[in-house]
Structure 1
Amino acid sequence: MIKLTNLAMPLGFTEKQLHQAVAKRLHVTREDILYIQYLKKSIDARKKPHISVVLALALELRNEAAALRKMASDKDVQPYTPYQYHIPQCQLSDARPVVVGFGPAGMFAALLLAKAGLCPLVLERGACVEERQNDVARFRQTGCLDPESNVQFGEGGAGTFSDGKLTTGIKDSRIRFVLETFVSCGTPEEILYLAKPHIGTDNLIGVVRTMRETIQQCGGEIQFHACLKELKQRDGKLVGLVYEKDGECREIAANHCILAIGHSARDVFSMLYNSGIQLTQKNFAVGVRIEHPQKWLDHAMYGREATPPELPVADYKLAVHLPNGHSLYTFCMCPGGEVVAASSEPGRLVVNGMSNYARNGSNANSALLVGISPAELQDSHPLAGVAFQKQLEESAFQAGGGNYFAPVCCVGDFLAGQTPKTLGSVVPTYRPGVTLCAPKSYLPSFIVETLRNGIPAMDRKIFGFAMPDAVLTGVESRSSSPVRIVRNETCESVSLQGLYPCGEGAGYAGGITSAAVDGMRCAEQIIRRYQ
């Protein structure tokens, strides 16, 4: 096969036009083209309103060797070998491996272990995705929080109730397996080639359920409402686990455990610290969500009054470095989405962003985050970042009224330093409700200053970003883990043989795809020990 990159096509191009363009580009006839597969599809809006589609393609031609010789000097034409991921078969010789946590990292770890014949046991503290969906909806409607089944905890992890973005900053061949697995579980095939693939919360519910069923069919067992309480150790080695289910503590033998607990399992972090497992602080970030009209964003990014159906709803990614030494950046941008109630603990308020596959909501929202380094914490304790998060979440809970209403403020009032008295044309999407409140009531002064200086700087990159009616909703405090569970080059804890800290919660991933890849990486290490 041949890989062709950087092929520009007009919006709404037809299959006939594509074949003509490929033939012209490679100096072959249309009849020489046997097969075309999309590898990547992106939008180039740099010359708006004139917008093009840029493609990378895998091709089968009648005489590929001749075509490659003819195009030898063209860096955009290269030989191509399709990716294949191999899972070796193993014999289960002792206690089966355990996976704690069933978010992206835990799911892909369990999938590999099950397909290798190792019959993993998965312990998930939250509910299955069907129950969890109802618990999340009830919290949004009534403000009644279930601390064990919410946006943070439950089957699928925090990513299930998000935009389902699959973009990642890592480069790893395993990503293809992750995407192919999602497609086999029901996502549209376009995630295999779109430059900014996403699944959407409405699709993720079914995808997560199908992944669970696949793991079970391959010999895996999943226990829900099963919360890890203790690691059993002997001579520096893991020998068992204690978990609580149905109000009863149960002990099981375990020599290998993948710890994929997510970034909000604060009780588990404390248990690990008290058990002598080495933890360190790591950089994380906190801030607010900002909401704009999606129609404004589409026009700002595409330069068109009306967006043709061939174009995806517009998004953005911004970062500014400021004179106060801090940076402000956007994260988890959700086009056509909503701000969601993401609390997992009583008396603490957290927000996040979510959107469905169609991204057809009236508002666009994104996190506006300020980085927090260990220097800002002024506390050397490994869990100092967790304490910092808790303080902000408690302050936001009180600022909102103590009933899981979120504190909100219009950008115009915030930039002018005025007490917010009313909302404008942008209607907040957060539920169960909102309370007008200035961010200074729940955020430290250096974060408020960074937001106040950074929003106008972002407006200079996208005109209208600082529109007075845009809404700020707080507090966004769970974008990443403030803790790293230290492991070695084989993904094993430096403190306990047989324990494999994994994914976002352990400090080794940031998003659905990178967490899934890290889960695979840890599972591979265990599989090697059974071969």
Structure 2
Amino acid sequence: MIRLTNIQLPLDHDEQALSDAILKKLEITADQLIDFTVFRRGYDARKKNSINLIYTLDASTRQDDFLLEKFIADQLVKATPDMEYKFVAQAPENLSERPVVIGFGPCGLLAGLVLAQMGYKPLILERGKEVRERTKDTFGFWRKKVLNTESNVQFGEGGAGTFSDGKLYSQVKDPKHYSRKVLNEFVEAGAPDEILFVSKPHIGTFRLVSMVEKMRAKIIELGGEIRFSSRVDGVDIKNGQIRGVTLSTGEKIQSRHIAVAIGHSARDTFQLLLDNGVHIEAKPFSVGFRIEHQQSTIDKARFGRNAGNPILGAADYKLVHHCKNGRSVYSFCMCPGGTVVAATSEEGRVVTNGMSQYSRNERNANSAVVVGIDPSDYPGGPLAGLDFQRELESQAYVLGGENYDAPAQRVGDFLKGKPSENLGSVTPSYTPGIKLTDLSKALPDFCIEAIREAIPAFNRKINGFALDDAILTGVETRTSAPINIKRGDDFQSINTKGLFPAGEGAGYAGGIMSAAIDGIKIAEAMALSINKEF
């Protein structure tokens, strides 16, 4: 087959336009085209009142080889790559010790699934509950302010990505097409087929819940095992080799191949690993606020008269500003048509995040507006970033009234440096609730200075971004783990053999897709390591 990229057509094109575009590009007649499929569809909204759709198409013709030779110098006409996933190993018949995966978020889920598909019958340990029980606990916290520190937005089956927008795109390099493996598994588990071809696929929370359940069932059917409410409280490391773990139940599990896919909020596990000599380094991360606008404001700013077009859906944005004080401020985890949610996992702290459903039809758009920081901003040991996060989260808890309400402020008041006393046209979506206050007390001065400079700059790109009535809610602290559990080319810890640091919590991913891809890489590395010992 032949892959054609950058095929541009008007937003309102008819069905015949795609095949016509192929015929024109390849300079062939209709009888020479056998069929075609859409590999990817995106859009170019730089001219918001004249938006083009941009396609990548896979076409089958009666003379593929001839055409590929004819267009050999054209970078937009290439052979369709082989994107079928190929397993790197199969489990030996006399496998005596199961590989262990700690954590059942996107990274642990894909690591466990691929290990199971290769016959390794992995044991997966998850400190939180299965996804439906976890959902009840999470909604219970949002509605009644009763926090379960082991079952919440951060901990439980599906990981933090379950309560998010369900974005399935990433900027990581993917020469082996692992992302296609992830998308195919998600579709098989019930995700809509469109995630295979839209340029910015997403699923949403409710669909993720049922998908995770089906993928869990598949792992079990293949011989894997998942244990919930099984926090790892001890590790057995001798002579630089991991030998097993001890669970919160007191049970000891032996394994010389253990993946640590614990997410960015398992602070006690980070401490446990450090205390047992695992090499960990501090790394940069970001902190800031959630900002909310009416979704209609963003749609109009991005799409103009095309706002509301069902192909375009709810508009998103991606913004960055480099400030005079040397800091960078950027939008993060933008959730069109979504809500701001309470995301703490520790008592007496307030943390915000964003979430939306597949429909993206809630009234508001939200995203994080965050400032990049690095270890020089929080000097100390490898885990000093955790203390920095906790300090901000505790301060937000106090500013919010010490009842899990979040501190909030209208953008106009924030820019003027005065506390907010009333709401305007934008109704905050955060539950349990918000308390209007002065957010300048919620972050270090250099962060406040940078965000105050960035918001008007963002307004020049998204008209209405600096709207007086837009709402800021604090604080956003868990954009990523503030640590990196260093690993080598074999994906094992640089000083602990058999320990495979994985995903976002180890510093190797930043979202559902990149975490899932890392999970596949970890599964492959574990399988090859196990087989090498036989």
TM category (shorter chain) comes to over 0.9
Report 1:345-494 matches (<5 A). Answer: 345-377=346-378, 379-494=379-494
* CA–CA distance in structure 1, aligned partners of residues 476 and 214 of structure 2: 30
Mark the CA change 1:69 to 1:235 in structure 2 (over 3 Å): closer, same or farther: closer
Shift of 1:447: 1.0
Q: Note the alpha carbon deviations across 1:16-73, whole angstroms, 9 max, x for none.
A: 2221221122111222222211111111112220111110011111121232344344
CA contact (8 A) 1:124 1:224 kept: yes
Shift of 1:307: 2.2
Aligned residue number for residue 502 of structure 1: 502
Moved more, 388-397 or 180-189: 180-189
Shift of 1:305: 6.9
Structure 1 SS opposite 2:247: strand
Query: How many residues matched?
Result: 527
* CA–CA distance in structure 1, aligned partners of residues 194 and 311 of structure 2: 14
Q: Note the alpha carbon deviations across 1:172-206, whole angstroms, 9 max, x for none.
A: 12111111111111111211221111111121111
Shift of 1:212: 0.7
2:229 maps to which of 216, 221, 225: 225
Shift of 1:310: 2.6
1:177 maps to which of 173, 181, 193: 181
Report 1:113-124 matches (<5 A). Answer: 113-124=115-126
Letter in 2 for 1:120: P
* CA–CA distance in structure 1, aligned partners of residues 302 and 244 of structure 2: 54
CA contact (8 A) 2:38 2:58 kept: yes
Shift of 1:11: 1.8
* CA–CA distance in structure 2, aligned partners of residues 486 and 12 of structure 1: 50
CA contact (8 A) 1:12 1:310 kept: no
Report 1:92-241 matches (<5 A). Answer: 92-172=94-174, 173-241=177-245
Mark the CA change 1:501 to 1:72 in structure 2 (over 3 Å): closer, same or farther: closer
Aligned residue number for residue 272 of structure 2: 271
Moved more, 456-465 or 348-357: 456-465
2:90 equivalent to 1:89: yes
* CA–CA distance in structure 1, aligned partners of residues 451 and 273 of structure 2: 35
* CA–CA distance in structure 2, aligned partners of residues 371 and 69 of structure 1: 48
Mark the CA change 1:252 to 1:306 in structure 2 (over 3 Å): closer, same or farther: closer
* CA–CA distance in structure 2, aligned partners of residues 443 and 236 of structure 1: 40
Moved more, 401-410 or 174-183: 174-183
CA contact (8 A) 1:286 1:369 kept: yes
Shift of 1:306: 4.5
* CA–CA distance in structure 1, aligned partners of residues 526 and 182 of structure 2: 19
Aligned residue number for residue 512 of structure 1: 512
Structure 1 SS opposite 2:251: strand
Percent identity, aligned pairs only, is 47
Letter in 1 for 2:18: L
2:331 equivalent to 1:330: yes
CA contact (8 A) 2:323 2:450 kept: yes
1:243 maps to which of 240, 247, 265: 247
Q: Note the alpha carbon deviations across 1:443-486, whole angstroms, 9 max, x for none.
A: 11111111111111111222211000000000001110001112
Aligned residue number for residue 50 of structure 1: 50
Report 1:292-331 matches (<5 A). Answer: 292-304=293-305, 306-331=307-332
* CA–CA distance in structure 2, aligned partners of residues 98 and 12 of structure 1: 51
* CA–CA distance in structure 1, aligned partners of residues 412 and 52 of structure 2: 35
CA contact (8 A) 1:341 1:350 kept: yes
* CA–CA distance in structure 2, aligned partners of residues 237 and 68 of structure 1: 52
Structure 1 SS opposite 2:250: strand
* CA–CA distance in structure 2, aligned partners of residues 493 and 411 of structure 1: 44
Moved more, 436-445 or 156-165: 436-445
* CA–CA distance in structure 2, aligned partners of residues 366 and 239 of structure 1: 42
Q: Note the alpha carbon deviations across 1:346-385, whole angstroms, 9 max, x for none.
A: 00110000000010111000000001101111x2311100
CA contact (8 A) 2:131 2:157 kept: yes
Q: Note the alpha carbon deviations across 1:267-321, whole angstroms, 9 max, x for none.
A: 0011111111111100011100000010011110011174222322111000000
2:64 equivalent to 1:61: no
* CA–CA distance in structure 2, aligned partners of residues 65 and 242 of structure 1: 58
Moved more, 355-364 or 20-29: 20-29
Shift of 1:96: 0.4
CA contact (8 A) 1:150 1:342 kept: yes
Mark the CA change 1:306 to 1:58 in structure 2 (over 3 Å): closer, same or farther: closer
TM-score (ref. length: structure 2): 0.97
TM-score (ref. length: structure 1): 0.97
* CA–CA distance in structure 2, aligned partners of residues 258 and 296 of structure 1: 44
* CA–CA distance in structure 1, aligned partners of residues 366 and 238 of structure 2: 49
Moved more, 274-283 or 12-21: 12-21
Q: Structure 2: which 5+ residue stretches go unaligned?
A: none
CA contact (8 A) 1:314 1:335 kept: yes
Structure 2 SS opposite 1:356: coil
CA contact (8 A) 1:298 1:304 kept: no
CA contact (8 A) 1:230 1:241 kept: yes
Moved more, 62-71 or 178-187: 62-71
Letter in 2 for 1:124: E
* CA–CA distance in structure 1, aligned partners of residues 409 and 445 of structure 2: 16
* CA–CA distance in structure 1, aligned partners of residues 306 and 502 of structure 2: 46
CA contact (8 A) 1:349 1:393 kept: yes
* CA–CA distance in structure 1, aligned partners of residues 394 and 47 of structure 2: 46
Structure 1 SS opposite 2:412: helix
Structure 1 SS opposite 2:510: coil
Q: Note the alpha carbon deviations across 1:391-450, whole angstroms, 9 max, x for none.
A: 000000111011110111000011011111011010000001110011122211111111
